[in-house]
Structure 1
Amino acid sequence: MRKKISMIFLWLLCAPIFVLAQTTVTGTVTDADFGTPLPGASIVIKGTTTGVTTDFDGNYSIEAETGSILIFSYIGLKSKEVTVTANTINVALESDVSQLEEVVVIGYGTTTKKDATGAVQLLTAEDLNKGAITTADQMITGKSAGVRVVNNGGDPDAGINIRIRGGSSLNANNSPLIVIDGIPLSNQNPAGQANPLTLINPNDIESFSVLKDASSTAIYGSRASNGVIIITTKSGTKGAPQFNFSSNVQVGTLSNQIDIFDSAEYVDFIQNTYPDSAGLLGLNGTIYDTNWQEEIYRTSYTVNNNLTARANLFNKIPIRASFGHSEIAGILKESQLDRYTASLNIAPEFFDQHLKVTINAKEIATEKDQPDGGAIGSALAANPTLPIYDPQGGIFGGFYQITDDQGIVGPANPLALLKQRERNEDADRFIGSAELRYKIHGFEELTAVVNTGIDYSESTINEYFLPSAVAAYTVFDGLPIFNNFSPNYGENQIKRDHLLDAYLNYAKDFEGAINRLDVQAGYAYQNFTTQGTTFPTTTENGFRESQQPFKYYTELNLQSFFARANLTLYDSFLFTASVRADASSLFSEDDRWGYFPAAALAWKLDEEQFLENTNWIDQLKLRLGWGLTGQQDITGPVGYFPYTALYDDGDPTVGYIFGNQVVTTYRANAFNPDLTWEKTSTYNIGVDFNFFSNRLSGSVDGYIRNTTDLLAEVPQSEGALRNRFVSNVGETESKGFEAALQYRPIQTEDFNLELNANAAFNETYITDLDNITQFSSGGGIGRGTGVNIGQTAVGERNRTFWLYEQVYDANGSAIEDAFVDQNGDGVISDADRRFIPFEPKWTYGFGTFVQYKNLDFTANLRGQLGGKVYNANLLNRGYSLAAIPQTDSGFITNTLDLYNNGQYNGFSDIPSDNQALSDFYLSDASFLRLDNITIGYNLKPFEDKKLALRIYGSANNLFVITDYDGLDPENFDGIESAPYARPRTYTLGLNVDF
């Protein structure tokens, strides 16, 4: 006993020495979920900069004082602090599931990723595309399963087509609702702005929330049948002032050309095939080598500059302001877009943080020079042996044109079409909102919200034919007459869209079976008006003459009541129920209101006891949802008053001429008093998961969608005011599957590797069209009125071609006008045409992110499996006789290069209208595109300063792997005729934070 007391006394006496003594601490750092070693984990002595990292086996060794604190950390895992009391300290780091707490913006509120009950995807800065980004849509292309984004070519302001799960309608609008900071945008773009997402500077975007299923979109009711994309912009800071300057320069080159004859090949082709026309080769005995495609295209460039400031004024008012300028010279000559953007976000709080006021204001001004797109088609047809400029100077501003005694004949000089026409499209647009969010004093669980907004734009279009312009040239008495700098078209437009949302929100946490209740109810109002004047002209006596201006005015009003409740039970079950009642001015009073309920259930399996010992599961959630949404946006085909008899001012082009004055008349418009809501019902089942300490995460969804009372433009009975008008006919059924995965196999202090992939399957079938079996859905192929290949038919997929099956000879060559007799009746008729869908069933995207210390690398690819493209160039330029006009017109034209071993691989004569309806012109549209790669380097040159730099370079549209024989397989409408080529773009950029 005495010996034990002595030992204790000695230990107490020596304790201060032990505390201050240096000791070598060793151990192993492992993953708590797997027990596997963590290479590269960081161990730092708290309060110092002294530290080490673990080796490949997770082992470490550090000199530390007894009693000091070691901080163990590893990316993606929770840090742990351990006091040094022994020479061996083994640490197991647990999963950090903070990313599951990421805020997801949904309709009229927010949730978190772990509490979302619908098919909702959050895309933040690290998820978005990098590189040559000039519009917001480019940031999400290929990044979200089931979201297909296709632009209309390489135009700087190219229109876009966004489809979430393929769209739900036949002729009504199929684009998703786009909401920017609480303002739902109109589906009608201002004149002069083709891309609605040009409105917002990509540098201002914080995140995208993509709402896919009806249970998440039904709160938006009538405008949400095709999904919702919610864009949230960056806000101010409550900390110290922050500034950012970003700049990049982009250079674009022509990535591909349509394969037509070059000059030497063309000479050989004409001399051997049509020797009688050889005299039309060249000019005055000189054979020129003109590549007209290269002449109309150029090296494009873009310069983007953005400046952002974030601050906390008076330590009470978070504020963010930004200014951006983009100068874009398109790859097609004379294509130019200058865009100026400014944004302001202010979010002060008052009354002890009970009242929060959020003000968002965005201004965009665009100045666009829109070239004559006809130059692309002319470049395919123009004779490559002719000169660009007239050696004699000529009367066409120096450009060479083929003429006869009536004027220009044959394809117009492609470069002259670009240089001798000017079309200015200028637009100024402002979108602003003010939201007041008041947490009621004494009843803090109840919040009142009022949000008001406006989207206002003014647009001006002026088109001129410049001096010696081709279209302004006419011959009288053998002399050319020009109307120098003649106005050809003009338009002024004003759009005003107003918004008011007012709702109450009650949210309260409870103890017991009910964990949380969140209830909303409110009213929404939107009014869309567009008014403008067009100034058409006509050619009179060789001069451009102005016609009577044509004024227009449209208005659409939407009013709604909505409610939603979210309930959490036993920490495991999430219930969501919502209902919205919508009224649209497009329908009569008897059919004006539509009612759209939705419900969803989510079960957080990871919260259940039977999985509590499964340490590799961070999140596992099962979702079930159903919802009904509406559709009323049919204004494109039928205007804004489709349900009532209306007399409208006629177009000046169909007026009566009295003397020198054109007088328009009132005309009766077609109408349908029985129009009502198109309705879409969607069932969705999904699983969200996060495994292995955030290493593997993702979601899988399957859905069935049925649309009834389709708003479709269908044939009308004889005697109707129009032969086609909109009616509620039929049903469609869609089925689909989506999967998104993210894998982070390596996450250390110095090295990170992430892989992501998504894939989606979708097909929509038409199950009923009432008493109609099928009808034409357009699809012009350049063969005159009525020769269309698009068809809508019961039992077939939506968006199909209706074509004959081509017959081939033993050598694999197509036999003209020979088709498979599908029904075996011995007669080739419409009954032998097949329905061929041209939309792909599968779309996909995948990418990687690699970081080593300050260096990072990103690559993204995307593509589709299946789908078809009808090559209208092959139809209209893919036969040898296309080079020789059918009349003695004194000119010859180019054709596709189908020469092979001395034989022309195409047809010889002009294809008949029946031949034009052959699947011979179809090609598989499957492709894989390397969308972008980006290499960046981050550096902080001054350790004690805020200054941080990032330098990066990127390349976009590097290559496309495809069997398609045209220019580009990525084609939304399925028909390629004279496409605006997408450039291959290289970017060098700089970001500075200070």
Structure 2
Amino acid sequence: MRTKVAWILTPLLVLFMSFSYGQEKTITGNVTDQDGLPLPGVSVLVVGTTTGTQTDFDGNYTIKANVGQVLRYSYVGQKTAERKVGSSSTINIQLAEDAEALEEVIVLGYSTKSVDEVTGSSVQVSSEDIKDVPVLSVDQALQGKVAGLQISTTSGTPGAQQDIRIRGVGSINASNSPLYVIDGVPVVSENFSGSANRTSLSSLVSLNSKDIESMTVLKDASATAAYGARGSNGVIVITTKRGKSGKAVFNFSSVLGFQNNAYNKRNPLTATQRASLIDEATFNAYGESYDFEIDEARDFAIANNLGNIANWDGSEYDWPGLIENKDALIQDYNFSASGGTEKTNYYASLGYNETEPTVIGDSFRRISGKLSFQTWLRDNVKLDNSINVSNSRQNPVLENGAFFNNPHLTRYYMNPFANPYNADGTYNINSLGTSVFNTLYTNENDEVYNKYTRATTNTKLDWELIENLTFSSRIGLDFSLSEYKSYNNRYHGDSDGDVNGSSTASDEKNYNWVSQNSLNYQFKLGSKHNFDVTALFEYQKNNYTYLYAYGENFSTDGLTNIASAGSNFDASSSFTDWTNISYLGMLNYNFDGRYILDATFRREGSSRFANGHRYGNFGSVGLGWNVHREAFLEGSVFNELRLRGSWGVTGNSGIATNTYQAFLAYDADYAGNGAVYPSQLGNEFLSWENGETVDAGFDFGVFDNRLSGSFAYFNKRTYDLLQNVPLSPTTGFTSQNTNVGEVVNKGIEAQLNYDIFRGEDFSWSISGNFATVNNEVTKLALDSTGEDINPSATSTYKTTEVGLPIGAWFMRTWAGVDTETGEPTWYVNGVDGEVTSNYASAARVNQDEASALPTFSGGLSTHIEYKGVFIDASLYYAGGHKVYEQYAQHYFRTNSFTLGSYNGVEELLERWQQPGDVTDVPKLVYNGADNFHATSSRHLYDGDYIRLKDLTFGYNLPSKFTEGIGLDAISFTVKGTNLYTWVKDDGLKLDPEVGAAGYTGLVTPPVKSVVFGVNVKF
């Protein structure tokens, strides 16, 4: 919220002289900021007069006043100061930074407005709030700071993409991700990982959080309509740092720390535990048939080598500990320089980050550099340019599925009887007693990486044609290159045996460029009618190319490139592109700063739709009333009271390119010849998905803004949904994309801030936010009989029906374990009453209309400072939803799957053993098939959780010490992240922070970290 825009404004020099009776004299002096830098264009007012003289633009001033009069000095972003004219003819003044004034500007991407001019729902987070958060993807730093913004860490592997939703999910098949705008340019934010089975790679890792000035989250139609279709799911505006005039200022920061998994209480069976359960399961399965007692079950199991127990030497092998990288190291170093003259300023930075994962594997590494400058080419022409380049290397984990080389799967599925090592100390790859791979071996003998290079440049020219009429031209270029390589060794893993080693490589190139040309005119009619009008044309073009190659059969070790492969070569390439063209008009009108009208119209065309349906019309109208500026509130407790409301329509084109076209595919082989076949039906009438949003709220500040906050209600109706609708098999196609269906999201959002103490030596403030979202499907596509078509009909977990949330949980209802027989039971009607142990006889029902997404979320934070010592703490919470433990289908089985082929979890120790036992785990039978593991509410948990997001202790060294060693400032910090997690449901053992789909998975959970930081300014 500390957006410093003073240097891009030309303050009016207002000078008034009075007709007073004191002796008139000429006063000279200079005005500087808190760093001693000159402030050009300061307003100097002789209090109570109506005339004055001009100031110079170098910070020096000359003014005539009478002895005894008061001079008032003011400048944008600085605290106003006053001095009384005495005997001296020289008055030098130093103005202090006014944090509250700086926070009065909101960056909206295409425009920058004062808070009093904003009618939409938006929240701005400053660099102060994110600078010390140890995250690689800057959007992670927003978690818990913005009401209505839900962020889930889908993987804690360094560089992974985050799952972000603003005000819930509005689309069934199209994109629900927000648009990112960096320095006014819409950018592509995709997953640039080379494999869908491995960890995702966020394009936002290319940004260094130290280079961020602010991030603004735009939520309602009035705030997002300017971005048309791409703003339908909300907009996150990122503004990077610029320099300011004055002496060169250098900043160096160093962060060093460690991280571990934040929350994971799901533990696999140890070897001893598994052995005892094998005894029991063996007796329950074969004891009666083969006439042996429970104490003889081990002999029977060994004789038949059940679960590979015959090869167990009685030792405990800590597979979970071996694949874990405890206290993974975090290193982050940044250096920046900024400064300039009254005509030109600059900002340059260099950063390096190295972060180890919490499982075995190579570190994530990134080096980044940024250079920006602004210069006045003429008095009315300004050039603004920034360049950002970064290179990242990630070790992507094979974690997006039940793969035998997934290290997290090794933790739970590896046979605990298996020794990781041979007698000679080499890795055991031949006698594991399971099909799960020895991850220790593959980690050292396979090679895999994602390399991601991104270069962006943003150039803008502002030309003031006449007073207050400015022509602006901007071009943003964004080039991403992602290189992926995966080599699997010849002896053990995915490519042993006949494959004899394999290598995969791919290159992805994404080139995105945006051109914007606009006219902005600010004018007044009379003294109270203020207008700000903008007309803008935008052209965006995106080109994406993909090149893939594969080879097998390597003749020797050490050669990992495809050129050294001997057979089974494969190659592929593809190209896609899309274009957006937009015409935008924006009007902001205010009457005397009290009544605000904000109107936006955007006509946007997308190449994703057919001719005749490519253009959509979107817009919004917002109204605001600054009640605190009314005469009847003068002298009241209100420093701020603003009522606001908006209505608008946005669109969504977030579907695959060329979806509207009927396709023939040419990749078939027929008797050795190329073949052609129909592959896509297409839909030439396919067009925009639309969203209509109503938003109403208020902002307030009372008691000198000691207590401030905001409240909003929103209702968003998404219609003409882009749905993939099933077709009759007689058509020869499985589905077709059409515009049909409707979804409604509504809820409330509230933010509250309170300064408990305000003092020169001691201050204490708290803030919190809370948001709800209710998601409901109100219309679906109809089949030939007039019945709704369920988009989730093929899912064994979910349903999408009118009156329910998108993807509501739909499964059999768990009734518990039969206390007499030990068999699992489910409710026959899916609700209550009669139960059955026949899984197929139980009905599937929606589970309390539960959603996979939180229905409420929020954050709570506090800041305490005493004489340079400060403490910051923040919580994040979410709830009202349910999450499903999808891997329960594997490690919760009560038979040979867990006790023979793989392994189970320690909750199996709570199994039923004798009549009368009350438990949630059925009887163990080695050759049984009771379906306990199958999809049911037994493995569906309340998702409510609270997380201690950040805890920071810091100290700002007093200036009397820093000045003595030639430094401007030094600060020391110790920050903990995700230190504690509280989960409502005791059965939820895996991390509760899951993606929008609502499934816990065998992926790297979010991490908790402790880092030590030093910041030096000189």
SS for the counterpart of 2:246 is coil
Letter in 1 for 2:973: Y
For the aligned residue pairs, the C-alpha RMSD in angstroms reads: 3.3
Aligned 1:652-731 pairs, distance under 5 A: 658=672, 668-731=679-742
**Which of 404, 422, 446 is the aligned partner of 1:390?**
422
Aligned 1:160-559 pairs, distance under 5 A: 160-192=162-194, 194-255=201-262, 256-274=264-282, 275=297, 276-278=300-302, 279=305, 280=307, 284=311, 286-299=313-326, 300-312=328-340, 316-352=343-379, 354-373=380-399, 374-391=406-423, 398-402=427-431, 409-440=434-465, 443-466=466-489, 468-474=491-497, 483=500, 486-514=501-529, 516-537=530-551, 545-559=567-581
Cα distance, 1:152–1:813 mapped onto 2, change above 3 Å: farther
Aligned 1:781-792 pairs, distance under 5 A: 788-792=796-800
Cα displacement string for residues 315-335 of structure 1 (whole angstroms, at most 9, x for unaligned residues): 532011111111111111114
- Displacement of 1:132: 2.2
SS for the counterpart of 1:470 is coil
1:620 aligns with 2:641: yes
SS for the counterpart of 1:719 is helix
Asked whether the equivalents of residues 740 and 759 of structure 1 are also in contact (C-alpha less than 8 Å), the reply is yes
Cα displacement string for residues 421-445 of structure 1 (whole angstroms, at most 9, x for unaligned residues): 22121121111111011111xx211
Cα distance, 1:831–1:970 mapped onto 2, change above 3 Å: closer
- Displacement of 1:870: 0.7
Cα distance, 1:539–1:843 mapped onto 2, change above 3 Å: farther
Cα distance, 1:282–1:83 mapped onto 2, change above 3 Å: farther
**Which of 892, 897, 910 is the aligned partner of 1:878?**
892
Cα distance, 1:897–1:830 mapped onto 2, change above 3 Å: closer
Letter in 1 for 2:244: T
Cα displacement string for residues 557-587 of structure 1 (whole angstroms, at most 9, x for unaligned residues): 1001010101011331010111000101111
Cα distance, 1:550–1:896 mapped onto 2, change above 3 Å: farther
Gaps of 5+ in 2: 1-67, 87-96, 195-199, 283-296, 400-405, 557-564, 835-839, 914-918
Q: Equivalents in 2 of 1:124, 1:646: separation in Å? A: 48
SS for the counterpart of 1:675 is coil
Q: Equivalents in 2 of 1:212, 1:492: separation in Å? A: 35
**Which of 932, 935, 951 is the aligned partner of 2:953?**
935
Q: Equivalents in 2 of 1:871, 1:764: separation in Å? A: 22
- Give the count of matched residue pairs: 878
Letter in 1 for 2:225: A
Cα distance, 1:511–1:836 mapped onto 2, change above 3 Å: same
1:560 aligns with 2:589: no
- Displacement of 1:876: 2.0
Q: Find the counterpart in structure 1 of residue 120 from structure 2.
A: 118
Letter in 2 for 1:746: F
Cα distance, 1:429–1:101 mapped onto 2, change above 3 Å: closer
Q: Equivalents in 1 of 2:78, 2:683: separation in Å? A: 60
* Residues 702-711 or 459-468, more deviating: 459-468
1:860 aligns with 2:874: yes
Letter in 2 for 1:852: Y
Cα displacement string for residues 625-648 of structure 1 (whole angstroms, at most 9, x for unaligned residues): 00100001112xxxx111112224
Letter in 2 for 1:917: T
**Which of 604, 607, 627 is the aligned partner of 1:605?**
627
SS for the counterpart of 2:760 is coil
Scaled by the length of structure 1, what TM-score is found?
0.83
Q: Equivalents in 2 of 1:832, 1:993: separation in Å? A: 61
* Residues 535-544 or 228-237, more deviating: 535-544
SS for the counterpart of 2:1005 is coil
**Which of 909, 912, 920 is the aligned partner of 1:899?**
909
Cα displacement string for residues 109-165 of structure 1 (whole angstroms, at most 9, x for unaligned residues): 110122211111111133447442332012211100000111212100111111111
SS for the counterpart of 1:836 is coil
Asked whether the equivalents of residues 774 and 791 of structure 1 are also in contact (C-alpha less than 8 Å), the reply is no
Q: Find the counterpart in structure 2 of residue 923 from structure 1.
A: 941
Letter in 1 for 2:280: N
Q: Equivalents in 1 of 2:193, 2:471: separation in Å? A: 37
Q: Equivalents in 1 of 2:572, 2:184: separation in Å? A: 35
- Displacement of 1:244: 0.6
Asked whether the equivalents of residues 382 and 894 of structure 1 are also in contact (C-alpha less than 8 Å), the reply is no
Asked whether the equivalents of residues 401 and 412 of structure 1 are also in contact (C-alpha less than 8 Å), the reply is no
SS for the counterpart of 1:153 is coil
What is the identity percentage for the equivalent residue pairs of Structure 1 and Structure 2? 26
Asked whether the equivalents of residues 817 and 915 of structure 1 are also in contact (C-alpha less than 8 Å), the reply is no
Cα distance, 1:100–1:371 mapped onto 2, change above 3 Å: closer
Cα displacement string for residues 286-309 of structure 1 (whole angstroms, at most 9, x for unaligned residues): 122122221111121111111101
Cα displacement string for residues 464-513 of structure 1 (whole angstroms, at most 9, x for unaligned residues): 01353322322xxxxxx783xx3431101211111101110001244434
**Which of 584, 589, 592 is the aligned partner of 2:614?**
592
1:967 aligns with 2:990: yes
Letter in 2 for 1:312: G
Asked whether the equivalents of residues 109 and 185 of structure 2 are also in contact (C-alpha less than 8 Å), the reply is no
Q: Equivalents in 1 of 2:343, 2:102: separation in Å? A: 30
SS for the counterpart of 1:398 is coil
Q: Equivalents in 2 of 1:566, 1:378: separation in Å? A: 59
- Displacement of 1:833: 5.0
Scaled by the length of structure 2, what TM-score is found?
0.81
Cα distance, 1:952–1:814 mapped onto 2, change above 3 Å: farther
- Displacement of 1:341: 0.7
Gaps of 5+ in 1: 1-66, 85-94, 475-480, 780-785
**Which of 772, 777, 794 is the aligned partner of 1:761?**
772
- Displacement of 1:344: 0.9
- Displacement of 1:665: 5.9
Q: Equivalents in 1 of 2:709, 2:83: separation in Å? A: 31
SS for the counterpart of 1:549 is strand
Q: Equivalents in 2 of 1:979, 1:465: separation in Å? A: 21
Letter in 2 for 1:368: Q
1:851 aligns with 2:872: no
Letter in 2 for 1:897: E
Q: Equivalents in 2 of 1:580, 1:423: separation in Å? A: 45
Q: Equivalents in 2 of 1:876, 1:884: separation in Å? A: 7
SS for the counterpart of 1:916 is coil
Q: Equivalents in 2 of 1:221, 1:811: separation in Å? A: 60
Letter in 2 for 1:170: I
Letter in 2 for 1:690: G
Q: Find the counterpart in structure 2 of residue 838 from structure 1.
A: 852
Cα distance, 1:882–1:598 mapped onto 2, change above 3 Å: farther
* Residues 196-205 or 382-391, more deviating: 382-391
Q: Find the counterpart in structure 2 of residue 954 from structure 1.
A: 975
Asked whether the equivalents of residues 289 and 386 of structure 1 are also in contact (C-alpha less than 8 Å), the reply is no
Q: Equivalents in 2 of 1:657, 1:985: separation in Å? A: 59
